[in-house]
Amino acid sequence: MILAFDTSERTATVALARESQILAKVASGDYLTDKSLDGKGSSTCLAGMIQQVQRDLNVVSAEISAIAICNGPGSFTGLRVGVVTARMLAWSLGVPVVAVNSLDATANALRIHHRQAKIGTRIWSAVNAQRSQLFLAGYDVVEGGVELVHEQELATKARFLELVRPQDLVTGSGLRLVAQELGQRGFELPPPELAACNVDAVLQLALPRLASGDHDDLWTIEPIYFRPSAAEEVRLASGTQS
């Protein structure tokens, strides 16, 4: 049984899967509503969501054979909570863990679901980095997957719009920052449930790696930030040592 979760977005998602089949899944929006905790951050309920999918299937922790997560880029707080939780669980259960990049995951999900994502098509994936910036990367569709052709970077909205060509496809939760400009150019924007990283997209990339025995060192998995968090910037500006 594989435990997978994504905390890179405003909505966190958790699932239990066997091979390629998701057997139980919960999103933080539904969980928080059920628990009358509206308004709290999605990362605060990760432990409870994991417990819920286990209860739904009557699965005990000892039955979990691997863990798959997203380690960013995305929400700084969500990524910290997700990575620490994955490392703790993988260590305590003695199981492998696979970390998936959110930009890779959303690009691959669009390849799978978009009718125009044929081999050779360029896909741009963008995540909201706050401060009117985007985490972005470019991929070409290849046989059975996507290939990174434009390295991931922290960019302005103008930079993203400069890179995207009329024949390209776009995805990612960051598109809402440039939705008007893309609409004016005639781009078809994917629905939010496809554009945002989620546990389904994480599993699509994690499962082949786990099947081949490829996994990450749980002690070296870190959140992908691209820049210091706001708290770290304050600390660095004040000259305080960690």
Domains of the chain, by residue range, sit at 2-102+197-238, 103-195
Which residues does residue 100 pair with via DSSP β-bridges, in sequence order? 70
- φ, ψ of residue 179 to 5 degrees: the values are -60, -40
CA distance 200 to 14: 9
Angle, CA of 136, 137 and 143, to the nearest 5°: 145
Angle, CA of 191, 193 and 194, to the nearest 5°: 70
**Binned average pLDDT, 10 residues per bin, the chain of 242 residues:** 96 93 93 60 82 96 97 94 96 98 98 95 96 96 97 96 97 96 95 94 97 94 80 62 54
Contact 170, 187 (CB under 8 A): yes
Q: Do domains 2-102+197-238 and 103-195 have the same CATH topology?
A: yes
Contacts of 103 (CB under 8 A, 6+ apart): 73, 125, 126, 127, 135, 136, 137, 152, 172
Fold classification of 2-102+197-238 is Nucleotidyltransferase; domain 5 (3.30.420)
State the pTM of this model: 0.91
Q: Does domain 103-195 have CATH number 3.30.420.40?
A: yes
CA distance 210 to 219: 18
Beta strand segments in 92-159, E: 97-101, 122-128, 133-142, 145-156
Structure tokens at 140: 């070409």
The count of other CB atoms within 10 Å of the CB of residue 230 is 11
H-helix or E-strand containing 18? strand 13-18
Please give the pLDDT value at position 39: 46
